[in-house]
Structure 1
Amino acid sequence: MTQRTYRTAIVGTGGIAGAHARAVRAAGDRAHLVAAVDVDVDRARAFAAEWGVPRSFASLGELLLEEEVDVVHVCTPPRLHARLALDCLAAGVTALVEKPPALSLAEMDELVAAERRSAAHVATVFQHRFGSAAVRLRRMAAAGELGRPLLATCATQWYRDDAYFAVPWRGSWENEGGGPTMGHGIHQFDLLFSVLGPWREVTAVAARQARPTQTEDVSMALVTFDNGAVASIVNSVVSPRETSVLRFDYERATVEVEHLYGYTDADWTVTPAPGQDGVASRWTAAGATETVSGHDGQLAAVYDALDAGDPPPVTLADAHRTMEFIAALYASAFTGERVRCGQIPPEFTQRMDGTGAPWSAVSAP
């Protein structure tokens, strides 16, 4: 397989853009970062100067008119993600979009339809899928080495103070599409789904406990999967001791990871069931790495797929499963009903808060 060199650009030069620029640089000759785009032109120029990027623009439209690019990294606030990805598809340019890829299932459907009409693709940044330990877990699970999956727990318990939500686009349904379910825990439960496969049914609660937001600041869900496994999922931005934890209980072993914003192999443990010591030895046989689960690994996988002429990961079909879970969680939390995959109430396909959060009629705390 011949490796190409991809001309890339970053749209939105806020905090996460640096991680994308570092990943492009780490790719070496596989990619050149040729442009930076931001509505704040001074910020775009400063970013371009910092990373040695030759050109800067005030809009994606200007970039697409004046530069030939292969991949655009969409790093703007969430409300712009789907619109910018659609513009990329119309221009035949592949978009690598930060999470969430859209604010609703209706927007996801627009992206799917546009991708079918385009030679380009949309991939969502879910970098935790690409750490070596997660790849190993999926491989061993698929080979049956761990036995049946029985139980999983997934917790993203982070802390964001009131000042964090003072940024105008944070904490609103219109700009973020949701609270920690949509913007924080999404990485962890996306990794959960990549391991356990399709989910079947959700029973959930969501609450606004402390933050001055339109959205929830805590959510919890009980989830069943097509393979019979059951899981609990917690998402929070009110937890002073921050942690990100995943635990998978299989017939033959418990596999766990605890980290915060990115893991290495050292953050994972395997506890074999009695008489199943071979599971642990097979886990360690591959050897540990110090590579953090991050943008570098996903970007390399994106380039590999494009070199092979394949859709880059994480595909819209994969991301749709995660986004539909979010819609189901909110629908269950706000209606008090169980929600099954493929049976999202119509109002929750248009907006994640459906007809409105239960607390929307009262003032923020």
Structure 2
Amino acid sequence: MPDPTYRAAIVGTGGIAHRHAQSIAALGDRVQLVAVAELDADRAADFAREYEVPNVYAGADELLANERIDLVHVCTPPQTHAPLSIAAMRAGVPVLVEKPTALSLSEMDDMLAVEAETGVPVLTVFQHRYGAAAVRLRRLLRSGALGRPLVAVCETLWYRDEDYFAVPWRGTWDAEGGGPTMGHGIHQYDLLLSVLGPWAEVRAAAGRLSRPTDTEDVSMALARFADGTLATVVNSVVSPRETSRLRFDFELATVEVEHLYGYSDDHWRFTPAPGHEHLADLWTADAAAPPSGHVLQIAAILDAFDAGAEPGVSLADARRTLEFAAATYASAFLGRPVAAGEITGDHPFARGMDGGAVPWAQTRKETTA
């Protein structure tokens, strides 16, 4: 029996929306893009024409009221993610939202409350979890074949020039929620967290070193995990030779990947410890495996829908990643370690990633006055 055809819609037609539309098209008869919502009528028409979308709406509310949708993709600027997701949940429509899921832990908690009330899930785009090598790594770690994790390195060293930040919402706390810690490196350290599990403490530093932003353009964190593993996490948008790199040192092997915006199996390297060379047989690369990306995550969501299972990445899971971002900022700006579970309720860094404590905020106000 053929898989059922799901009906999808996209809200927002900026750059990342094209990735979603292309991924939906790549899944063939499993899912159809039936509607799009966009405030800019000309851009909406161009997008609908390019991807053969039959229905175009001026806003999300109109779309949700008039279409039967199985999954709505939220591809708008970050400050709209939480309100649009809540509106979709109240309309009974599951959501796939681009990162960051929300601007703050407080917004995440509001979303979790509505999810509990409605029973409608909100899922976050963390597509790098779904690549074949990442799935293999988590399986081998759970099996005990690699021994316990000891050390990890996570680096997102990207380059964004001043023209990139000319878009009004970029590089602002109110609209983007943060700098590379929120908007760029989050994909890499989400993958790190999906492998290593619960973190216990973060010590961090952050700076606005070069770019004309309100937010940081570099952050560095040292994380201690619940099992004692130590990891460094670096997020940058001032690095001319761009790379995304993860390295895991287990007792019995090192597993590492270097790529940029998406990896294939060929980007990974497996090095067994001396005396454990036989473990290399467990790392069987699949040259035919598709690269990490939106297609794999959307397919996994549809598989979960088919099976009546809980799809990923859930709000509760995404909140743990967002809490790591909040702890990075809090530690950097308060100058002390921050423990997991510390940022709750009315904590300043629960209300916003800047926590009202950005050390260069006054300097920027003076220089722009």
Give the TM-score normalised by the residue count of structure 2: 0.97
Distance 2:267 2:4 in 1: 34
1:321 aligns with 2:293: no
- The residue correspondences of 1:130-279 to structure 2 (distance < 5 A) are 130-279=130-279
Query: Counterpart of 1:86?
Result: 86
**Rounded Cα–Cα distance in structure 2 between residues aligned with 1:227 and 1:144:** 14
1:167-219: CA deviations, max 9, x gaps? Answer: 01100000000000000000000000000001000000010000000000000
Percent same amino acid among aligned pairs? 60
Aligned partner of residue 161 in structure 1, secondary structure: coil
Contact 1:252 1:276 in 2 (8 A): yes
Equivalent pair of 2:71/2:96 in contact (CA under 8 Å): yes
Structure 1 unmatched runs, 5+: none
Q: Does 1:303 align with 2:307?
A: no
Say whether the 8 Å CA contact 1:264–1:293 is kept in structure 2. yes
Q: Distance in 2 between matches of 1:356 and 1:52?
A: 47
Give unmatched runs, 5+ long, in structure 2: none
The C-alpha deviation readout for 1:253-284, integer Å capped at 9, x for no partner, is: 10000000000000000011001112111102
Partner of residue 99, structure 1: 99
Using the alignment, how far apart are the partners of 2:358 and 2:40 within structure 1? Answer: 33
Is contact 1:132-1:289 (8 Å) kept? no
Aligned residue type for 1:108 = M
Do 1:264 and 1:289's aligned partners in 2 also have CA atoms closer than 8 Å?
A: no
Query: 1:294-327: per-residue Cα shift (whole Å, max 9, x none)?
Result: 0000000111111222232100111011000011
Alignment of 1:276-355 (within 5 A): 276-284=276-284, 287-344=286-343, 346-355=347-356
Instruction: Tell me how far apart the structure 2 counterparts of residues 311 and 245 of structure 1 sit (CA, whole Å).
Output: 30
Secondary structure, in 3 states, of the residue corresponding to 2:100? coil
2:362 is aligned to: 361
Alpha-carbon distance in structure 2 between the residues aligned to 1:148 and 1:61:
49
Once the 2 structures are TM-superposed, how far is the Cα of residue 19 of structure 1 from its aligned partner?
0.8
Q: Could you tell me whether the CA contact under 8 Å between 2:218 and 2:237 is conserved in 1? A: yes
Give SS of 1:170's match. coil
SS of residue matched to 1:356: coil
Output the CA distance in 1 between the equivalents of 2:129 and 2:30.
21
CA shift at 1:162, angstroms? 0.4
Distance (Å, rounded) in 1 between the aligned partners of 2:48 and 2:312: 27
Q: 1:6 Cα deviation (Å)?
A: 1.1
Q: Give the aligned partner of residue 36 of structure 2.
A: 36
Q: Is the 8 A contact 1:2 1:307 kept in 2?
A: no
SS at match of 2:362: coil
Provide the C-alpha distance between the structure 1 equivalents of 2:225 and 2:24, rounded to a whole number of angstroms: 36
Query: Taking structure 1 as the reference length, what is the TM-score of the superposition?
Result: 0.98
Shift of 1:3: 3.5
CA contact 1:96–1:124 (8 Å) conserved in 2: yes
Gap change, CA 1:315 and 1:2, over 3 Å in 2: farther
Q: In 1, are the aligned partners of 2:132 and 2:289 still within 8 Å (CA)?
A: no
Separation (CA, whole Å) in 1 of partners of 2:4 and 2:193: 31
CA distance in 2, matches of 1:312, 1:24: 17
* Cα displacement string for residues 8-44 of structure 1 (whole angstroms, at most 9, x for unaligned residues): 1000101001110111111111111001111111111
- After superposition, the C-alpha distances for 1:66-103 in whole angstroms (9 at most, x for unaligned) are 11111100000000001100000000000000000000
For the aligned residues, what is the CA RMSD?
1.3
1:2 positional shift: 7.9
Secondary structure, aligned partner of 1:158: strand
Runs of 4+, deviation exceeding 4 Å: none
Measure how far apart 1:104 and its partner are: 0.1
